[in-house]
Amino acid sequence: MLRHIPCRYTQGSLLMEIDQLGFAGAYDFFYLPMDTRNKTSVGYAFINFTDPVAATRFMRVMDEYRFQRHLSEKIAEASPAQLQGLRQNVAHFASCAAWLQLVLFLILLLQFWLLFAVVL
């Protein structure tokens, strides 16, 4: 779990920053809840890493991290989430209203990756 994310971050901008820190391809689940009323993030995210070494490295890199894309006084705090594993995260968030938002984002992300792969 990643906390104290500046509210101006979107799912895409946070993923870009995480990927640029060397974690591209290291996770299989990502969820940044959004405040639909204010159209901002709520300041925390859930990320499931496919490898415990990557998860440990992420916590080390992100703990006390200062975000770059949207400057803020907030300092990140990374910790293990209560739920671990892709299946457990998907099952949990499937029961939430936010599931639709997550699915739509993943579809857009997949379309972007497919478009990028075609360009190469």
Would you give the DSSP letter of residue 7? T
Domain residue spans in the chain?
2-119
Closest CA to 90 of 44, 30, 7: 30
Residue range 11-39, pLDDT digits in tens: 899 999 999 999 998 888 788 988 878 88
Q: Is the dihedral of CA 105, 111, 112, 114 positive or negative?
A: positive
How far, in Å, CA of 49 to CA of 47, rounded?
A: 6
Tokens encoding 70: 């949207």
Q: Note the pLDDT tens digit of each residue in 32-75.
A: 988 878 888 889 998 888 888 998 999 999 988 999 888 888 88
In which region does residue 10 sit, left (phi positive, over 0), alpha (psi from -120 to 50) or beta (all else)?
A: beta
d(CA 117, CA 115): 5
pTM over 0.75: no
- Looking at the structure, give the CATH architecture of the domain made up of residues 2-119: 2-Layer Sandwich (3.30)
pLDDT score of 80? 75
Residue 86, H or E segment: helix 86-94
Task: Check if the beta carbon of residue 13 is closer than 8 Å to that of residue 32.
Answer: no
